[in-house]
Chains A and B, each alone.
Chain A
Amino acid sequence: MNLAEATDEALVERVKRMAGMAREPFLPAAIDLLSGMSRAILADSETKLVPQYVALAYWMRGAAVKKLAKAFLDTIPDGEILAPRGLAFHLPPTNVDTIFVYSWALSALAGNANVVRLPATLSPQAQSLLRVVSKTLADEQQAERNLFGTYDHGGETEREICRNVDLRIIWGGDAKVEKVSQIPIRPDGLTIGFPDRQSLTLISAAAYCSADDEARDDLAARLFNDAYWFDQMGCSSPRLIVWLGDNPECRDDLYNRLEAVIQQKSYIADPAVGMAKFGLANDFLAEGVAASARRYSNELQVAEVSQPKVALQRTTGGGFFGDAQILSLDEVRNFVSRKVQTITHFGFSHEELISLARSIAGVGGYRIVPVGEALQFGSTWDGVPLLSHMTRRIVVR
């Protein structure tokens, strides 16, 4: 089954034809395409109402894309000419319904022709985004070089597509990366895999306690966005909150404010998810992973954990937080592993964060960004500078 062509055979033929359609990176046409799409998302009556799509549109607006291009081009030495990789093949994750656009957009900017394998079922929300994307591609006459469609995973169609691609980007966890990676792409092709990741938030108790009501409410609102936008199931969604320094009252204060945001935004967790959270809280207590647990509501449960590593590994999504405390930033490396992706922070100086990055560099961690920016896509993702990998270089002497 595929959306783009009548049959899988036609899909494969189409992909083969796309092999020669790459163009020079950062052409004005590519920049116009993205900024046009940005405007279309903000103008569409459905997509403009979805905060994550608005964030996507903001990221793709003309000025931002030009800035991104310039910053990258500034890193290219004289005597090296940028070229596209060729045909890129994107396998986005099923849970985060903006990645298929982010992954594609960077690659389109890099001049590649693109095949995007969409999940077999899309939420109505994601369908509205796909509709805007498709229409913009048609309007800008770029549909021939950019194919969004689906087919059944793991079969001959996937094998045939892979045989033709120069760049393959696999999102969606360890098992998927491992399975898809077994299928060969072009001999000189490059595969980038984005495996399972976990994320956490780091808060300075001293900074929080000395913050005023406004700053605290603002932090709670940003934490809400980070955690709840994708039901706390994104790789970057924080599931553990670590406090530097001890102040139980401030901790409770933050969760009460977060609960207020949850109610204000009318976020509702399914009761089955609420039960899963209650179950996990009980498991943590029974096992001695947590010393206490509190159910603020069906949407927010917090377990005060003495084993942050365990709290990172097990989650239910939908508003379950492990809450841990440390006495020194050096302790972070004790529970950070290769699986840890994003550390969102509040109340630390730049110097402290740089020294934190150095201290965890040997064990893991890919992003240290302010609370509120967990889901903000960046062209360096999971430690991979994507534009560098999405292009190749011609050396001229």
Chain B
Amino acid sequence: MIAELEESLAATPYSLEPEARQRLMLEGLNALTAKHYERCLPYRRIIDGYWRGKTEFEEIGGAPYLPVSIFKTQIMQSVPDTEVRLTLTSSGTTGQAVSRIPLDAETSSIQQRALASSLRHVLGPDRLPMLVIDTDKVFKDPKMMSARGAGVLGLMRYGRTHSFALDASLEPDIKGIRQFLDQLEGRPFFMFGFTFLVWTSFYERLRDKGLDLSAGVLIHSGGWKKMAERAVSNAFFRTAFGDAFGLTKIHNFYGLVEQIGSIFLEGRGGLLYAPNFADVIVRDPRTLEPVPDGSTGLVQLLSLLPHSYPGHSILTEDLGVIERISDGADGWAGKGLRIEGRLPRSDLRGCSDVIAMAA
């Protein structure tokens, strides 16, 4: 593990204010860029051909970035095949290319440590009883096994005595939920689920059932597209859960499978904050130059976690805006990011009419 990551993990989670973070991130990114340049041929070719072979930069904005699509089209790997323990794949609809992320033992353990440190920041030092807002079939039934199942399993590691709020057909198990709450007698607990399911299968079905979730911490993640279609914003989501269940400790998170373990957690102001070992830069979608804070642009994610593949600096196709810079006095240091959705797709039609054939 690079020294800069060691140092960021040693600090209190989400505590590094911009200046200290910049220094660690810059040194860390330079170290990772040099390391991957050395060990990953496709990466070296890109650095040589697009970035003039430079691996050391004076500011993080100068560091090379890869398009997120490259993890779908190429095998980007900085360790020998024999050291790959697991290849993560992103969820994707049938026929679509998926990202393939090779993890070795070191990077897997780094990711778990990093994720644990982030989650402890909102869950506290002890593992809490956990209510999973999903069905246990999501990982028990191999036919249903998916990124969602993997996500649920990954997060379950950070709770104990798990209960599942939904049955196999994603109907709420109200009896089971009441049982789970009753035996806690007001002690804190942890809830996790995917945003859309949490809304449709939990909130919409149970809002008038008089459940008291005020001792709970809800962590949720997932795309906002379907939520936006229902005109549910993050602020509305928070208010609704507060009104219906007295639940106020709610943390959305944002991250890429390409930077798994590196999660931007929702903190003060409903904004997403980078952990100490990560950062974000927002770029103009047309010029790719960094934009001033407060302007919308393409989100570039930086993370010191990826050691077995060159995923430490990725230009996503998500649009976002940095709304706040914090010194960390409120427990959330660094840039406060809001995600505004995906860059709208565009289909240039070729001289091949395949699309029109179906129309």
Contacts and interface: CB of A to CB of B under 8 A. Distances in A.
Do chains A and B stick together as partners? yes
Interface of A: 93-96, 119-121, 153-154, 171-176, 179, 196-197, 231-235, 270-276, 278-279, 281-283, 285-288, 290-295, 297-298, 304, 315-318
A172 B352 contact: yes
B353 to A, nearest CB: 3
Contact of A175 (B287, B349, B357): B357
A235 B351 contact: yes
A288 B42 CA distance: 8
A317 B348 contact: yes
Given A271-B343, A279-B67, 19 more contacts: A94-B353, A94-B356, A153-B359, A173-B353, A175-B352, A175-B357, A176-B352, A176-B353, A235-B351, A271-B298, A273-B348, A275-B285, A275-B315, A276-B69, A279-B73, A286-B76, A292-B50, A293-B49, A294-B50
A143 to B, nearest CB: 25
A37 B66 CA distance: 51
Interface in B1-49: 42-43, 45-46, 48-49
Contacts of B74: 283, 286-287
Contact of B50 (A197, A281, A287): A281
Contact of A273 (B46, B298, B346): B346
B344 interface: yes
Pairs of residues from A and B, 9 with the lowest C-beta to C-beta distance, nearest first: A173-B352, A172-B353, A286-B42, A271-B285, A235-B351, A270-B346, A95-B349, A317-B348, A279-B69
B350 A173 contact: yes
Contact of B350 (A95, A271, A273, A288): A95
A342 to B, nearest CB: 11
A283 B351 contact: no
Contacts of B45: 285-286, 288
B153 interface: no
Interface string B47-58: 011100000000
B329 interface: no
Contacts of B43: 286
A286 B70 contact: yes
Contacts of A304: 49
B49 A119 contact: no
Interface of B: 42-43, 45-46, 48-50, 66-67, 69-70, 73-74, 76, 285-288, 298, 315, 317, 343-346, 348-357, 359
B353 A290 contact: no
B357 A272 contact: no
Given A282-B67, A286-B46, A287-B74, A120 B359 contact: yes
Given A120-B356, A282-B50, A282-B67, A173 B351 contact: yes
Contacts, number: 134
Contacts of A232: 348
Nearest to B355: A94
A298 B286 contact: yes
A57 B45 CA distance: 48
Contacts of A297: 286-287
Contacts of A197: 351
Contacts of B343: 271-272, 275
B285 to A, nearest CB: 4
Contact of B317 (A96, A175, A275, A283): A275
5 contacts: A270-B346, A285-B49, A286-B46, A290-B49, A298-B286
A10 to B, nearest CB: 22
B348 A231 contact: yes
Q: Which of A120, A272, A294, A315 has the most CB of B within 10 A?
A: A272
A196 B50 contact: no
Contacts of A171: 351, 353
B354 A285 contact: no
Contacts of A231: 348
B73 A93 contact: no
Given A282-B70, A287-B74, A293-B49, A176 B357 contact: yes
Contacts of A318: 348
A252 to B, nearest CB: 14
A272 B346 contact: yes
A283 B73 contact: yes
Nearest to A194: B351
Given A120-B356, A120-B359, A279-B73, A317 B350 contact: yes
A30 to B, nearest CB: 28
A282 B74 CA distance: 10
A279 B356 contact: no
A231 B76 CA distance: 31
B61 to A, nearest CB: 16
A172 B351 contact: yes
A96 B351 CA distance: 8
Report which residue of A172, A274, A286, A298 has the largest number of chain B beta carbons within 10 angstroms of its beta carbon: A286
A291 B45 CA distance: 7
A174 B139 CA distance: 43
Contacts of B351: 93, 95-96, 171-173, 196-197, 233-235
B49 A292 contact: yes
Contacts of A172: 351-353, 356
A36 B187 CA distance: 85
Given A279-B69, A287-B74, A233 B49 contact: no
Contacts of A94: 349, 353, 355-356
A291 B344 CA distance: 31
A232 B351 CA distance: 10
A232 B349 CA distance: 10
A280 to B, nearest CB: 9
Contacts of B354: 173, 175-176
Nearest to B40: A286
A210 B354 CA distance: 44
Nearest to A286: B42
A296 to B, nearest CB: 11
Nearest to B359: A120
A283 B70 contact: yes
Which of B48, B298, B343, B353 has the largest count of A CB atoms less than 10 A from its CB? B353
A233 B50 contact: no
Contacts of B76: 286
A235 B350 CA distance: 8
B67 A275 contact: yes
Contact of B46 (A121, A282, A316): A282
A270 B343 CA distance: 10
B286 A271 contact: yes
A318 B286 CA distance: 13
A276 B70 CA distance: 10
A274 B286 contact: yes
B54 to A, nearest CB: 13
Contacts of B73: 279, 283, 286
